[in-house]
C-alpha cells in the first residue's frame, strides 16, 4: 500500500512540475532501450512506433544525464554489475532509413554507441515492415475490407478484423498466419504498389534502409548493424524448421553484406520461446534481445538474453516522458 501511495504521489509530482527525480531513473539500474524510426515529422496519428527527432533528442539528453551509454556487447557483460552511473544500451528495431539520416549522426556527434537491427525485407518485392502495411491500410487509406488467402477482413471502428473470428488483422498476422507469404498477399490485396505510385506524402516513417545504406550505417563510429530476421516474421509462431531456415539465411546475408559475423539478434515483436534459443545460437547469434518482457521463466538466469524497454510516440511530450518514466519502474 505504501509503495502504491508513493507511486501516486510521484506521478502527481511529475504531472504538476514536469520533473522526474534523478533517483527515479537510476533506481531502474542498467537497462537496454528499444526505439524504432526517428522522423522529421510527427506520425503518431498513424504509427506510434516512430519518434519525432525533436522528442528523440529530449529523451536522449535527459537519459544522458543519469546513464552511461555503452555498446551492446559491453552491456551484456556488465549488466549485472553496479556502476557509478547505470549503463544504457541504445537499440533501434526494423532498420528504417531515417535511423541513418537522423538518429545516427546525432549519436555519432555525442559519441554514444547504438545498435540498429535490420531485416532482409529490403530485398523483397514489398520492402516494408508488415505492421506498417496494416497502419497504411487502416489509418492512412481507410481500406474498408481486404481478402487475403480466402480470409476476409472487414473494417470495424477503424480496425480491420477477420470476418469469422473477429481477430484483428494485426494479431492474425502475428499468431495465425505469421509466414511471409501472407504478408505478400496483404500487400497485393491492398494494391500497395499502385497506391504508393500515387502517394504524395512523406514516406520517411516506413522506408527501409537499402543495402548500401546498411553498409554506410555500420561504418559509422560507434554504430553497429545487427539481425532482426529475414522477413520480420513472428518467430515464436513459426514451425522450428522455418525459423532455422530463415535465421541461417539472414545470418549468411548479413555476413556477406557487412563482411563480418553478426552476433546479435532481436526477436521481431519480441516473439520467441525457449526452444528457439538453441536454433538462434546455432545460426551464430550469441546474444538475443527480447522486447517488452521475457517469454520464458528461464530467461532471467540466461546470460545470453536481455529484455528491453521501449519509448514510443504516444502524444504530447509530457505524456511521452511520463510513459517512459512509468515504463522504467
Please write down the HEC assignment for all residues of the chain: CHHHHHHHHHHHHHHHHCCCCHHHHHCCCCEEEEECCEECCCCCCCCCCCEEHHHHHHHHHHHHHHCEECCHHHHHHHCCCCCCCCEEEEEECCCEHHHHHHHHHHHHHHCCCEEEEECCHHHCCCCCCHHHHHHHHHHHCCCCEEEECCEEEEEECCEEEECCCCCEHHHHHHHHCCCHHHHHHHHHHCCHHHHHHCCCCCCCCCCECCHHHHHHHHCCCCEEEEECCCCCCCHHHCCHHHHHHHHHHHHHHHHHHHCCCCCEEECHHHCCCCCHHHHHHHCCCCEEECCCCCCCCCHHHCCCEECCEECCCCCCHHHHHHHHHHHCC
Q: Are residues 137 and 78 in the same domain?
A: no
The residue among 22 and 283 whose pLDDT is bigger is: 283
Q: Quick one: angle between helices 240-258 and 211-218, nearest 10?
A: 70
Question: In this model, does residue 97 exceed pLDDT 60?
Answer: yes
Q: Are residues 112 and 212 in the same domain?
A: yes
Q: Are residues 119 and 184 in the same domain?
A: no
Grid cell, residue 39, equals: 522522423
Domain boundary among 197, 221, 255: 197
Q: Are residues 216 and 236 in the same domain?
A: yes
For residue 187, tell me if it sits in a domain: yes
At 42, the pLDDT band (50, 70, 90 cuts) reads very high
For residue 225, tell me if it sits in a domain: yes
Question: In this model, does residue 139 exceed pLDDT 90?
Answer: yes
Domain boundary among 151, 168, 197: 197
Domain boundary among 153, 177, 197: 197
Contact 144/222 with Cβ under 8 angstroms?
no
Residues 254 and 111: their CA atoms lie apart, in Å, by 25
Q: Mean pLDDT across the chain, nearest whole number?
A: 90
Q: Are residues 85 and 223 in the same domain?
A: yes
Mean pLDDT of 14-38: 71
For residue 6, tell me if it sits in a domain: no
Q: Are residues 223 and 294 in the same domain?
A: yes
Q: Are residues 155 and 75 in the same domain?
A: no
Q: Are residues 100 and 191 in the same domain?
A: no
The CATH number covering residue 92 comes to: 3.20.20.370
* Structural domain of 148: 130-197
Q: Are residues 233 and 295 in the same domain?
A: yes
The predicted pLDDT at position 123 comes to 94
Contact 169/228 with Cβ under 8 angstroms?
no
Residues 259 and 69: their CA atoms lie apart, in Å, by 26
pTM for the complete prediction? 0.91
Residues 228 and 265: their CA atoms lie apart, in Å, by 6
Question: In this model, does residue 249 exceed pLDDT 80?
Answer: yes
Q: Are residues 50 and 108 in the same domain?
A: yes
For residue 4, tell me if it sits in a domain: no
Q: Are residues 170 and 241 in the same domain?
A: no
For residue 12, tell me if it sits in a domain: no
The predicted pLDDT at position 66 comes to 87
For residue 235, tell me if it sits in a domain: yes
What's the structural domain count of the chain?
2
Residue 257: partners with Cβ closer than 8 Å, 6 or more residues away: 211, 214, 215
The residue among 225 and 65 whose pLDDT is bigger is: 225
Mean pLDDT of 144-155: 96
Q: Are residues 117 and 219 in the same domain?
A: yes
The predicted pLDDT at position 62 comes to 85
Amino acid at each position: 500500500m505504501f509503495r502504491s501511495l508513493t507511486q501516486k504521489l510521484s506521478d502527481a509530482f511529475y504531472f504538476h512540475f514536469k520533473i522526474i527525480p534523478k533517483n527515479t531513473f537510476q533506481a531502474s539500474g542498467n537497462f537496454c532501450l528499444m526505439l524504432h524510426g526517428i522522423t522529421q515529422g510527427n506520425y503518431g496519428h498513424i504509427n506510434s512506433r516512430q519518434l519525432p527527432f525533436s522528442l528523440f533528442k529530449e529523451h536522449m539528453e535527459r537519459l544522458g544525464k543519469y546513464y552511461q551509454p555503452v555498446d551492446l556487447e559491453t552491456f551484456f557483460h556488465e549488466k549485472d554489475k553496479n556502476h557509478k552511473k547505470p549503463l544504457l544500451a541504445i537499440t533501434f528495431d526494423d532498420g528504417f532509413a531515417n535511423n541513418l539520416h537522423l538518429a545516427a549522426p546525432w549519436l555519432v556527434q555525442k559519441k554514444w554507441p547504438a545498435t540498429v537491427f535490420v531485416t532482409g525485407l529490403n530485398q523483397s518485392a514489398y520492402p516494408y515492415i508488415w505492421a506498417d502495411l496494416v497502419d497504411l491500410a487502416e489509418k492512412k487509406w481507410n481500406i474498408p475490407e481486404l481478402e487475403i488467402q480466402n480470409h476476409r477482413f472487414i473494417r470495424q471502428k477503424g480496425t480491420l478484423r477477420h470476418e469469422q473470428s473477429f481477430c484483428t488483422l494485426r494479431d492474425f498476422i502475428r499468431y495465425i498466419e505469421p509466414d511471409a507469404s501472407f504478408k505478400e498477399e496483404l500487400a497485393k490485396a491492398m494494391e500497395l504498389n499502385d497506391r504508393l505510385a500515387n502517394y504524395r506524402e512523406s514516406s520517411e516513417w516506413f522506408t527501409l534502409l537499402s543495402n548500401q545504406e546498411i553498409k554506410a550505417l555500420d561504418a559509422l563510429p560507434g554504430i553497429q548493424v545487427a539481425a532482426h530476421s529475414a522477413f520480420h516474421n513472428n518467430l515464436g509462431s513459426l514451425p522450428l524448421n522455418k525459423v532455422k531456415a530463415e535465421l541461417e539465411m539472414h545470418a549468411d546475408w548479413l555476413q556477406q553484406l557487412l563482411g563480418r559475423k553478426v552476433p546479435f539478434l532481436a526477436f521481431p515483436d519480441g516473439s520467441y520461446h525457449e526452444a528457439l534459443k538453441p536454433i538462434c545460437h546455432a545460426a551464430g547469434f550469441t546474444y538475443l534481445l527480447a522486447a517488452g518482457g521475457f517469454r520464458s521463466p528461464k530467461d532471467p538466469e540466461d546470460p545470453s538474453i536481455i529484455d528491453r524497454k521501449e519509448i514510443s510516440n504516444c502524444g504530447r511530450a509530457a505524456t511521452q516522458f511520463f510513459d517512459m518514466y512509468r515504463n522504467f519502474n
